[in-house]
């Protein structure tokens, strides 16, 4: 990402409606995983550390982040030293394994998505899970994706195909940020049509509007897992290692 995006993230992710809503949905997903007590947790692409406090409720957190300024933010906010790592290179992890690997809006930044997931497989302990989120739908592509150095946006099928090619088994894939999808889609399409480039989507909206958007987005934590929504601005997936009983050719439950 551009340096300005890291600075914006550092200043806004504690309160901005999108980060707040996503954390609440991630919390619901984490609660459902039945992680072992004091789990070993790896966050890949930890950004400026906004998710680390949440993850630390479930265990000991290790963070990977390639940007040096972002690693400084992590150290000052979360009190841990993030490792320098750019996937698919995971040598900084040596032979460490984890009960949970989190990638929250990271995979779309990586050119070799399949190779990166393959590299992470070696660091997932038996019975461990990989929890990830990605942005959805190519037609929502905008200057915001360009500014954040995205390579792609996903559909449920394209994400499932990426997962399958990497040798993981999909426990589930869910669309989320569904309630706000009409407004987000309309805004993205309008801005693309009129050519309004450079709009900072991470700037803080007025306080009242921010609270309303955060509340609407956060409502989805109650139904995003049990209900498979037909569309959404983003996708959430839980993956695990293939076993002899659920090889790559097995039917995936999406």
CATH number at residue 205: 3.40.50.150
Domain count, the chain: 1
Residue 53 has pLDDT above 70, yes or no: yes
| Residue 129, domain member (yes or no) | yes
The lowest-confidence range among 19-23, 67-71, 204-208, 242-246 is: 242-246
Average pLDDT score over residue span 30-58 = 96
pLDDT, position 193: 77
| Residue 251, domain member (yes or no) | no
pTM for the whole structure:
0.91
Domain assignment of residue 63, given as a range: 3-241
pLDDT, position 192: 76
pLDDT, position 9: 84
pLDDT, position 21: 97
The secondary structure of 175-237 as a DSSP string is EE--TTHHHHHHHHHHHHHHT-TT--TTSPPPHHHHHHHHHHHHHGGGTTTTS--S--SEEEE
| Residue 50, domain member (yes or no) | yes
Higher pLDDT, 135 or 189: 135
pLDDT-derived band of residue 148, with 50, 70 and 90 as boundaries? confident
pLDDT-derived band of residue 200, with 50, 70 and 90 as boundaries? low
| Residue 84, domain member (yes or no) | yes
pLDDT, position 226: 92
Average pLDDT score over residue span 24-35 = 97
| Residue 36, domain member (yes or no) | yes
Give the alpha-carbon dihedral of 92, 96, 100, 103, to 10 degrees: 10
198 sits in the region (left: phi over 0; alpha: psi -120 to 50; else beta) called left
| Residue 142, domain member (yes or no) | yes
Average pLDDT score over residue span 155-174 = 97
Rounded Cα distance, 152 and 137, in Å: 9
- Residue identified by tokens 């993956």 is 239
Average pLDDT, the chain: 90
| Residue 146, domain member (yes or no) | yes
Q: What is the pLDDT of residues 98-131, one digit of tens each?
A: 999 999 999 999 999 999 999 999 999 999 999 9
How far is Cα of residue 172 from the mean position of the Cα atoms in its chain? 15
């Amino acid at each position: 990402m551009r340096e300005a995006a890291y600075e914006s993230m550092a200043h806004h992710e504690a309160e901005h409606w999108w980060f707040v809503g996503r954390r609440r949905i991630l919390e619901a997903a984490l609660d459902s995983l039945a992680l072992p007590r004091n789990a070993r947790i790896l966050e890949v692409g930890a950004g400026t550390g906004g998710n680390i406090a949440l993850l630390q409720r479930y265990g000991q957190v290790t963070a990977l982040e390639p940007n040096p300024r972002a690693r400084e933010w992590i150290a000052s906010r979360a009190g841990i030293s993030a490792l320098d790592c750019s996937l698919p290179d995971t040598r900084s992890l040596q032979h460490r394994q984890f009960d949970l690997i989190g990638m929250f809006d990271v995979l779309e930044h990586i050119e070799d998505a399949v190779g990166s997931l393959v590299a992470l497989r070696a660091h997932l302990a038996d019975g461990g899970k990989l929890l990830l989120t990605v942005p959805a739908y190519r037609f929502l592509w905008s200057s915001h994706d360009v500014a954040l150095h995205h390579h792609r946006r996903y559909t449920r099928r394209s994400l499932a195909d990426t997962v399958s090619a990497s040798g993981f088994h999909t426990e589930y894939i869910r669309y989320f940020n569904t309630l706000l999808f009409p407004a987000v889609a309309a805004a993205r399409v309008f801005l693309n049509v009129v050519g309004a480039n450079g709009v900072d989507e991470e700037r803080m909206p007025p306080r009242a509007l921010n609270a309303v958007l955060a509340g609407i987005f956060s409502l989805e934590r109650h139904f995003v897992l049990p209900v498979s929504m037909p569309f959404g601005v983003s996708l959430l997936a839980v993956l695990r290692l293939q076993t002899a009983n659920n090889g790559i050719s097995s039917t995936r439950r999406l």
